[in-house]
Amino acid sequence: MLGRGEAVSVDEALNILHSSYTPPEPGREEISLHEALGRILAADIISGTHLPEFPRSSMDGYAVFSSDTFGASEQIPAYLKLAGEIVMGETAPGPLSHGQAIAIPTGGMLPDEADAVVMLEHTQALNADELEITRPVAPGENVIQPGDDIRAGEAAFTKGHRLRPQDLGALAGIGITRVPVFKRPKVAIINTGNEIVPADKSPRPGQVRDVNSYTLAAMVRKAGAIPVLKGIFRDEFGPILEAVGSSISECDLVVITGGSSVGTRDLTEKVINGMEPGIIVRGVSVKPGKPVIIGMVSGKPVFGLPGHPVAVAVCFELFLRPLLREISGEIDPLAALGIPGVRVVEARMARNYSSSPGREDHLGVMLKLEDGELWAYPVLGKSGLIFTLVKAHGTAVIPAEKPGVAKGEKVTVRLFD
């Protein structure tokens, strides 16, 4: 056993994990832009063109020589000859001369000669041939110039960026429809326990339906990884050891649920320590989730999570989600600003709550807005109850050094996605 025998703090556990494991750069693939939402770029993307590629009007109005409008006012308007209309998707019907104006819609292409657009509200068509202008415009006013959005040769996105909906639109705008991305990490999920039966089966007395496989698989997908469901295993050393061995060869990370708490039939510790190099963390000072095990097998992380659903969810958020971000190749620009990778809010506790000093407590809470302030109502229940998670909006984090929180005291709430 490489790790300590006693429970360590959350920060200590993360430090031990990071010092024991450096994720290799993941493989790469090229995919269509339609498939790229949430994927991590495997290379910098350089724009090959200006965006926009031509000068465009940002207003409905008239394209003009700005110098033809200088001094115009409601009292002394400027008068220009109308030279037709620019149609969206087409160029001007002819060259524009001084003393002329041409109608243009928002987004329309300016004639080469024009350098400004007068807003429609500051004009009055006197007849089919003459336009009155009551306000001057400066050169470039109401015009989007080529390259105002991005210039050719400029970096559009950098390696490690997670693609968002607006990013896909921007890439399409510069003509990129296929992108290089990192392959998504694979997470093996091994569910253990003699009492566990598939969710579509009717359990006998003493048995329970599989909850953790569905919860974990969804969390893995939400984190941008691929869950690999290995199935439900009875508490038998040989089959679980074999499942871990096969999972190590095909996945980037292995999660075993159940079998991590003290008990004669708990095999997770024996399985991980039966492979090299073994366990690096045995227990973390966190509630729920204290029995969590972290190990390394053949250079890959293996987690032994408690069987209770709430503990599984808390441990995933604390350890697996940030690790999957690293394994995926993502570089989060907000992390450098000290902004956490999860959404957090401040709320006042709606009741007194006692906690054990020396243990970081994650309490499920329901949020309510009262008199303009957020209040956190504890959703009490044992960690084996899945619907406490369903009812909660997130978890209030009570630091290890605090014996609890008083009613009205502010707490930090980590929101569920």
Burial class of residue 88, CB neighbours in 10 A (0-12, 13-18, 19+):
exposed
3-state secondary structure of 129: coil
Note whether 225 and 66 are within 8 A (CB).
Answer: no
Q: Which residue has the tokens 């009741």?
A: 351
What does CATH list as the number for 10-26+183-327? 3.40.980.10
Angle of CA points 405, 408, 410, to nearest 5°: 65
Note whether 39 and 181 are within 8 A (CB).
Answer: yes
Q: So where are the chain's domains? A: 10-26+183-327, 28-51+148-182, 56-144, 344-415
What topology is assigned to 28-51+148-182 in CATH? Molybdopterin biosynthesis moea protein, domain 2 (3.90.105)
Dihedral pair phi/psi, residue 404, rounded to 5°: 145, -175
Instruction: Give the distance from CA 34 to its chain's centroid.
Output: 18
Q: At a CB cut-off of 8 Å and minimum separation 6, what does 141 contact?
A: 66, 116, 117
384-387 CB contacts, 8 Å cutoff, 24+ apart: 384/307, 384/308, 384/309, 384/310, 385/309, 385/310, 386/211, 386/215, 386/309, 386/310
Per-residue confidence (pLDDT) for residue 52, from 0 to 100: 96
Per-residue confidence (pLDDT) for residue 1, from 0 to 100: 41
Q: Give per-10-residue mean pLDDT for the chain (417 aa).
A: 67 96 95 97 98 96 97 96 95 93 97 96 94 97 97 97 97 98 98 93 93 96 97 93 96 88 67 92 93 95 93 94 95 78 91 91 95 94 80 94 94 92
Note whether 113 and 92 are within 8 A (CB).
Answer: no
DSSP per residue, 222-285: HTT-EEEEEEEE-S-HHHHHHHHHHHHHH-SEEEEES--SSSTT--HHHHHHTSSEEEEEE-BS
What does CATH list as the number for 56-144? 2.170.190.11
Closest CA relative to residue 208, chosen from 229, 189, 191: 191
Could you tell me which CATH class the domain 344-415 is placed in? Answer: mainly beta
Instruction: Give the distance from CA 68 to its chain's centroid.
Output: 51
As given in the structure block, the two tokens for residue 92 are: 């001007």
Per-residue confidence (pLDDT) for residue 348, from 0 to 100: 97
As given in the structure block, the two tokens for residue 275 are: 């492979």
Topology alike, domains 10-26+183-327 and 344-415:
no
Per-residue confidence (pLDDT) for residue 94, from 0 to 100: 86
Strand pairing class (61-64; 116-119): antiparallel
**Residues pairing with 181 in the sheet:** 29, 41
Half-sphere exposure of 157 (CA within 13 A, CB side): 27
As given in the structure block, the two tokens for residue 219 are: 């969390």
3-state secondary structure of 293: strand
